[in-house]
Structure 1
Amino acid sequence: MAHIIRKTTGPHRGGIESTLKNFGTFVLIISILAAIAAFFISGEVTKDSTYDSWGEEGLSPFWLAASIWIPVQGFALFLFFNWTSQVVCLLKKIAGLPCGVEISEATPQISYSCSQCSQKVESYYRQCPACGAVLEGIVDEQENI
């Protein structure tokens, strides 16, 4: 008598998709630090500089705009790299390859196989189409070992 074996697989770590996601986070952090630096630079610019200034301390409109624009650009790149990693992961899933990041709102994959011949079956099968074994109930993969 055979059983249906339930196998649950989680995310695989590594691959280009993990690198893309990590690089996106790196770009976001660097852009925030650059924005802070640009804001402080805007206060150091004097009236004698080539840019228009506001007040005696010389708050430069260029550097103030840069301190706003840099994190906006960084966030856009962060989203781009994260979405690209999701696309790579989905393409790998379609090809049956392991993926290095979790897909948004993804649930673990559950597959079923015959305990006699390891042929993939559906959870409602009562007989294995490959070896003809009568399938009685579902057991988790760890219980079968």
Structure 2
Amino acid sequence: IAELNQLATVLALPDKNGDVLVRAGIIKTKVPLKGLKQPDKLIKEPQPKTKAQQRYSRLTGDANRPNGRVERVQRSAKMELNLLGLTVDEALPEVDAYIDRAILNGQTVVYLIHGNGTGALRTAIHKHLRGNRMVKSFRLGRYGEGESGVTVVELK
């Protein structure tokens, strides 16, 4: 999608109005045929590394790579991770992997959805976050964010 400089997959031929059904990530939408370009014609702008990405490169030893860039592990980190129904042993590795993906994608704030329940998962996650060097701070969600069922994490 040229206007958004976004890669998308064409799902259907143009309709009578000249609109094409495409999928960009998890989103399906219709765009005008004129608004599509071949991927090699999209503008590829170099993205400056955030402080978190630079710090992560140093911590993982990726700073020695040519051009100092971190390999792309996964391009689509959402802003929230749903941990509902998981045990502490299942959730903590998910939290670590999610924080790694978020840092590599340049995110600075993420939401961990753990629910209320007995509070055991929330307590374990908070204890785990205190020991994570990539976490700047964290807090419970506020009104409208999920309150005590969500932890808002600010990454370095």
TM-score by length of 2: 0.20
**Which structure: larger Rg?**
1
More helix as a share of residues: 1
TM-score by length of 1: 0.21
